[in-house]
């Protein structure tokens, strides 16, 4: 009980003692200046949880698998199959390949196995350090829209955006792609797109994306909808969240109410907001909500 009271005192001191209160206000005020692209804690969590160097949903040849029958090893195999599905679309083995948004380097590893000259790009500090320690590839540390591309004009035979296209500003990225891609080069893109205005907001709107491709002189020469093949991973995450995380959260709050009623009383007004935030995040990995509002597309894009 003394430890609990000491903890409550420490929290109160940070909230009400002027030097600490000033620090609290300053940190809260500056939170919007935080650049998630350079230090994405969520992607770091995914990498720590999964055994491979991939950060995407993977590709399941059997999309009807039940979440109860899944394991992290199956997700790793699906991620490996996803990479193979992308690399199977590469036709040019002579010219360099550029993995834009290379994550932790999983796709670079596959490209190296195929003896391709592969370069990567990531703005994330954790990712760049990890890749440079593990893989021999040259990796550019920058956002795609901001990297110095002058030495790479008409350089790449293949560009790949594997679940990284959603982060690109199309009006800024497409002109750079025009410049660095060889005249007969191809851009392999694999990502999810919004098909309506419902659900979670991440991803480009499909109709807008098609319009931007046309505007900047590109065409889709191959397209495959693989939504059903990525849903098992989403379903597995949703199952873990609803059947394990939520019960553990409720158990923890219940124990807090019994063991530290004073602290529980202090935080009780925040609990509905916490539950709302958690439910919002769980909805992003609800397979039914995802498939109703988004499509996951694998495509090859070329100049018109």
Map out the domains of the chain with their CATH numbers: 1-34 (no CATH), 35-304 (3.40.50.150)
Looking at every residue in the chain, the average pLDDT score rounds to 86
Structure tokens given for 210: 């098609």
- The H or E element that residue 225 is part of is strand 218-225
Start-end of H helices in the chain? 2-16, 18-29, 41-49, 72-87, 106-113, 125-134, 170-180, 206-215, 227-240, 246-259, 261-267, 271-283, 287-293
Predicted TM-score (pTM) of this structure:
0.81
* pLDDT greater than 60 at residue 26: no
Taking phi over 0 as left and psi of -120 to 50 as alpha, with beta for the rest, 242 belongs to alpha
How high is the pLDDT of residue 55? 82
Token pair of 206, please? 């499909």
Whether pLDDT at 21 is above 70: no
Q: What is the pLDDT of residue 10?
A: 58
Kindly tell me if the per-residue pLDDT of 137 is higher than 70.
yes
User: What is the pLDDT averaged over residues 104-126?
Assistant: 95
The arithmetic mean of pLDDT across residues 142-160, rounded, is 97
pLDDT band, very low/low/confident/very high, at 34 (cuts 50, 70, 90)? very low
Model confidence at 2, in pLDDT bands (50, 70, 90)?
A: low
pLDDT score, position 285? 86
Overall average pLDDT of the 94-117 stretch: 96
The closest of 107, 114, 174 to 144, measured between CA atoms, is 174
- Counting residues of the chain whose pLDDT is more than 70, the rounded percentage is 83
Confidence of residue 267 (pLDDT cuts 50, 70, 90): confident
In tens, the pLDDT along 169-215 reads 999 999 999 999 999 999 999 999 999 988 778 899 999 999 999 99
Pairing outcome for strands 181-194 and 204-205: parallel
Residue 42's pLDDT is what? 47
- Per the model's pLDDT, the better-predicted residue between 29 and 213 turns out to be 213
Confidence label for 41 from pLDDT (cuts 50, 70 and 90): very low
């Amino acid at each position: 009980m003394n430890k609990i009271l000491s903890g409550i005192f420490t929290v109160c001191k940070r909230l009400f003692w002027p030097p600490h209160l000033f620090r609290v206000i300053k940190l809260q005020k500056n939170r919007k200046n935080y650049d998630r692209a350079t230090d994405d804690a969520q992607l770091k969590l995914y990498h720590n949880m999964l055994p491979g160097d991939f950060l995407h949903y993977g590709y399941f040849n059997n999309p009807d698998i039940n979440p109860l029958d899944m394991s992290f090893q199956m997700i790793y195999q699906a991620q490996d199959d996803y990479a193979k599905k992308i690399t199977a679309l590469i036709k040019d083995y002579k010219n360099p390949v550029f993995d834009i948004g290379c994550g932790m380097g999983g796709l670079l590893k596959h490209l190296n196995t195929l003896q391709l000259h592969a370069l990567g790009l990531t703005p994330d500090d954790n990712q760049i350090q990890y890749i440079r320690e593990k893989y021999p590839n040259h990796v550019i540390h920058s956002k795609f829209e901001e990297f110095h591309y002058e030495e790479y004009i008409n350089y790449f035979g293949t560009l790949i955006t594997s679940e990284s296209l959603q982060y690109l500003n199309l009006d800024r990225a497409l002109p750079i792609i025009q410049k660095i891609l060889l005249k007969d080069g191809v851009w392999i893109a694999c990502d999810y797109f919004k098909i309506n205005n419902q659900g979670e907001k991440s991803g480009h709107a499909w109709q807008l994306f098609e319009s931007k491709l046309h505007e900047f002189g590109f065409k889709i020469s191959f397209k495959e909808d693989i939504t059903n093949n990525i849903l098992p991973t989403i379903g597995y995450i949703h199952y873990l969240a609803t059947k394990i995380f939520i019960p553990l959260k409720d158990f923890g709050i219940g124990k807090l109410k019994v063991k530290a009623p004073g602290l529980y009383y202090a935080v009780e007004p925040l609990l509905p907001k916490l539950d709302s935030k958690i439910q919002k995040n769980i909805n992003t990995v609800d397979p039914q909500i995802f498939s109703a509002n988004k499509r996951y597309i694998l495509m090859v894009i070329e100049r018109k």
